[in-house]
C-alpha cells in the first residue's frame, strides 16, 4: 500500500540523510588544446541493485532524476540537470538533518551557476563564461562538501589545493599534462584515450558506460546467473546466484508486493 | 482499496453451523468441535494406532470491504517444514462449500494430504469446486479447507499445547 506523500518525504529525509550524497562535480578537461572546467551540482543515492525499486520510487514520486545501473550490483539515483537538482533539494531540504549543510551548499552553487554560466560550464571550449572569483568559490564549495565535518579530511576526489592549482592552469591556459595512452574498448573495440596511471591491474577497458553495462550484462548473465521461479506468478527469470534468497523470490516488485499483501495467516497448534 | 479478507473457522452441526473469525489468530486442534483456544479436550497420546483431532473446517470470507475488481486463486500453504515434533502430523482436504458436514474425528488419514507438502511454490488450490472469480461483500468464497491433527504412538507427551505452525491462506486481488 502506498503511504501518503508527507509520510513518504519524512521517511525519505532520513533515508537521504543516511544514504544520499550532495556534491558539486568539478571536471577539468582539455578540448582541442584548450583547458576547461565544468561544474555539475548533483544529488545522488546509491543502493545495492536488489533495492533499485526504492530509487525508482524516488523518481516516480518526485518526478526528478533517473536511476541507472552502475555495475551489476549497484544502482544509482541521480539528478540529471541543474533544474532537477534544484527541484529535488527544494523538496527534500525540509526533511533533512545531517545533510542539510551539504544540500544548502549545492543550492548556493546552483545560484552562482545560474547567475553566470550556461549549463554549468565555466569555460566552454576555452571561452570564459565564469569569472575566476566565482570559479574559485565553486571549487571551494566542491571541496568543502566532500570534507569530513569532523576531521576536515578529504573524503574523495582531488584535494582542495590540487583543484585550485588546476583551476589556475585553466585560467592561465597552461597545458595540463595528460600522460594518456590509446587503448581499445573491450566491448566494442573502439580506440579511446585513458590515463596511463589508471590502467594498472585492469584487464578490461571500456569507452563508455553503455559498453561497461553491455559487457557486464553479457558476462554476468552467462557466468553468474541462474534460473529462479517467481513465488507469485511462477515465471522463470534470471537472477545473480548470490542474490537468490532461500525462501521466496519474485520477478518484480509488484509481484512481491501482491504476494505479501494478499496473505492471511493463522497459527495452528 | 484492498478487500477485507478473513479466515473463518466453522463449527456445529450442519444447518446450524457457526463461524468464528480466526484471521491472525490461533486454531486449536482438540478432541471437541469448538473454536475456543484453550487446554480443554486435549488430544491424548495413543497407546496403539493413531489418535486424531476433530476436523477444523475453515473457509475464506470477504468482509465489509469487497475487492475493486475480483478475488481469484485462493490457495493454502505452509512453510513446508513440520515443526510439531515426532509423531505429530497434520492433514488437509478441500471440499465443496455445499457439502459442509458436522466436524467429526476422521477415521483415518487417507482422504487428506500432509499440510506440509504444500508450500508457496506449490500451494493447495482452494477454488477447485467453488471456482472464482469472487466479488461482493460479507460473503464466503472458495472451497472449505478441512484440517486435522494426527498423533502416533511415538509422540512425546505431554505437550499442552504443541508448538505452533503458521498456515497461510493467499489469494490474488485485482
Q: Of A248, A264, A268, which has the smallest distance from its Cβ to B90's Cβ?
A: A268
Q: Of A231, A265, A269, which has the smallest distance from its Cβ to B121's Cβ?
A: A231
At B19, list the grid cell.
Answer: 463461524
B82-116 per-residue burial string, b: 16 or more CB within 10 A, e: under 16: bebeebbbbbbbbbeeeebebbeebeebeebeebb
CA-CA distance, B68 to B70, in Å (whole number)? 6
Higher-pLDDT residue of B84, A223: B84
At A106, list the grid cell.
Answer: 549545492
Higher-pLDDT residue of A144, B73: B73
Q: Mapping DSSP to helix (H, G, I), strand (E, B) and coil, where does residue B70 land?
A: coil
| Inter-chain contacts counted by CB atoms under 8 A, chains A and B | 74
Interface residue ranges in chain A relative to chain B, Cβ cutoff 8 Å: 1, 229, 231, 248, 258-259, 261-269
CA-CA distance, A74 to A51, in Å (whole number)? 9
* Secondary structure in 3-state letters for B107-142: CCCCCCEEHHHCECCECEECCCCCCCCECCCCEEEE
> What pLDDT does A127 receive?
45
Q: How far is CA B170 from CA A241, A264, B97, B127, in A?
A: 28, 6, 18, 12
Which residue of A lies nearest to B91 if distances are taken between CA atoms?
A268
At A107, list the grid cell.
Answer: 543550492
Bridge partner list, A44: A21, A78
Q: Which residues of B touch A248 (CB under 8 A)?
A: 120-121
pLDDT tens string A133-186: 777 888 888 887 766 555 555 555 667 777 788 787 777 765 555 566 677 888
CB B124 within 8 A of CB B75: yes
Low-confidence residues of chain A: pLDDT under 70 = 1-2, 31-34, 71-72, 116-130, 146-158, 173-181, 196-203, 220-223
Cβ B170–A264 below 8 Å, yes or no? yes
Write down the number of H helices and E strands in chain A.
8, 11
Q: Which residues of B touch A231 (CB under 8 A)?
A: 120-121
B168 CB within 8 Å of a chain A CB: yes
* Whether pLDDT at B164 is above 70: yes
Place of cell 595528460: A178
pTM exceeds cut of 0.90: no
Q: Which residues of B touch A254 (CB under 8 A)?
A: none
Amino acid at each position: 500500500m502506498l503511504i501518503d506523500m508527507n509520510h513518504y518525504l519524512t521517511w525519505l529525509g532520513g533515508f537521504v540523510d543516511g544514504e544520499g550524497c550532495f556534491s558539486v562535480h568539478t571536471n577539468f578537461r582539455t578540448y582541442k588544446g584548450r583547458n576547461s572546467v565544468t561544474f555539475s551540482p548533483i544529488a545522488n543515492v546509491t543502493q545495492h541493485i536488489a533495492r533499485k525499486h526504492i530509487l525508482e520510487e524516488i523518481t516516480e514520486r518526485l518526478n526528478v532524476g533517473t536511476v541507472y545501473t552502475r555495475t551489476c550490483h549497484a544502482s544509482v539515483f541521480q539528478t540529471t540537470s541543474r533544474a532537477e537538482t534544484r527541484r529535488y533539494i527544494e523538496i527534500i531540504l525540509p526533511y533533512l538533518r545531517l545533510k542539510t549543510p551539504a544540500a544548502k551548499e549545492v543550492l548556493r552553487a546552483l545560484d552562482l551557476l545560474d547567475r553566470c554560466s550556461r549549463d554549468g560550464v565555466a569555460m566552454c571550449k576555452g571561452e570564459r563564461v565564469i569569472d575566476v572569483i566565482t570559479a574559485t568559490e565553486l571549487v571551494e564549495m566542491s571541496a568543502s562538501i566532500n570534507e569530513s565535518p569532523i576531521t576536515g579530511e578529504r573524503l574523495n576526489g582531488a584535494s582542495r589545493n590540487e583543484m585550485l592549482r588546476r583551476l589556475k592552469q585553466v585560467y592561465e591556459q597552461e597545458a595540463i599534462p595528460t600522460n594518456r595512452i590509446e587503448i581499445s574498448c573491450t566491448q566494442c573495440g573502439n580506440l579511446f584515450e585513458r590515463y596511463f596511471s589508471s590502467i594498472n591491474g585492469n584487464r578490461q577497458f571500456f569507452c563508455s558506460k553503455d559498453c561497461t553495462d553491455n559487457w557486464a550484462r553479457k558476462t554476468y548473465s552467462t557466468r553468474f546467473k541462474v534460473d529462479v521461479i517467481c513465488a507469485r506468478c511462477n515465471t522463470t527469470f534470471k537472477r545473480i546466484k548470490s542474490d537468490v534468497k532461500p525462501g521466496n523470490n519474485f520477478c518484480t516488485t509488484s509481484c512481491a508486493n501482491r504476494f505479501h499483501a494478499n496473505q492471511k495467516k493463522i497459527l495452528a497448534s | 482499496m484492498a478487500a477485507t479478507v478473513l479466515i473463518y473457522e466453522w463449527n456445529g452441526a450442519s444447518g446450524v453451523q457457526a463461524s468464528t473469525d480466526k484471521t491472525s489468530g490461533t486454531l486449536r486442534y482438540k478432541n471437541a468441535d469448538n473454536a475456543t483456544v484453550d487446554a480443554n479436550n486435549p488430544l491424548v497420546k495413543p497407546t496403539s494406532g493413531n489418535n486424531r483431532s476433530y476436523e477444523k473446517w475453515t473457509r475464506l470470507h470477504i468482509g465489509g470491504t469487497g475487492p475493486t475488481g475480483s478475488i481469484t486463486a485462493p490457495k493454502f500453504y505452509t512453510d513446508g517444514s513440520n515443526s510439531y515434533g515426532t509423531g505429530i502430523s497434520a492433514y488437509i482436504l478441500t471440499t465443496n462449500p455445499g457439502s459442509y458436514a458436522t466436524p467429526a474425528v476422521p477415521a483415518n488419514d487417507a482422504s487428506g494430504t500432509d499440510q506440509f507438502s504444500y508450500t508457496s511454490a506449490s500451494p493447495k488450490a482452494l477454488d477447485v469446486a467453488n471456482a472464482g472469480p469472487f466479488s461482493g461483500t460479507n460473503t464466503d468464497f472458495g472451497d472449505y479447507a478441512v484440517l486435522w491433527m494426527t498423533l502416533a504412538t511415538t509422540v512425546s507427551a505431554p505437550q499442552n499445547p504443541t508448538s505452533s505452525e503458521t498456515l497461510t491462506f493467499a489469494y490474488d486481488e485485482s
